[in-house]
Homo-oligomer: A and B are copies of this chain.
Amino acid sequence: MVARLRSAGLRPTRQRIDLGKLLFARGDRHLTAEILHEEAERSNVRVSLATVYNTLHQFTEAGLLREVSVDGARTYFDTNVSDHHHYFVEGENRLIDVDGKIRIGEIPAPPDGMEISAVEVVVRIRPKPDKQ
């Protein structure tokens, strides 16, 4: 983690190292600041919520995380920074990676003087209604 932070141009402080470990220990994850903060507490990592927010944003700028806004309310951070899309589980407010590619056709040219910076696809899903 220390090396990873250094090469991202971030000082390897205690809290950044600890949060980085929590974030990247398991595979791909989607989490909010709140969730990471709780997880830290459970792991006896002492960090303030403000620092969690700072760290998430710094990691995002450094390219270690990707921000996904899908919900209006909270902001999700994705430990998978590769180009991919998401299911959003309605009601549960949970993100799931779409495994496999979604092919997107030609996109009409944006207005003059503008260029495309990213294309995000969110597939909203919900439980299938019970068969009666």
Contacts and interface: CB of A to CB of B under 8 A. Distances in A.
A115 interface: yes
Given A69-B72, A104-B105, A114 B126 contact: yes
A71 interface: yes
A25 interface: no
Interface string A69-88: 11110110000000000010
A10 interface: no
A62 interface: no
A117 interface: yes
A42 B14 CA distance: 53
Contacts of A118: 123-124
Interface of A: 67, 69-72, 74-75, 87, 89-90, 96, 98-108, 110-111, 113-128
21 contacts: A67-B72, A69-B69, A69-B72, A71-B72, A72-B74, A87-B110, A87-B111, A98-B107, A102-B105, A102-B107, A103-B105, A111-B125, A114-B125, A114-B128, A115-B127, A116-B124, A116-B125, A117-B125, A119-B123, A120-B121, A120-B124
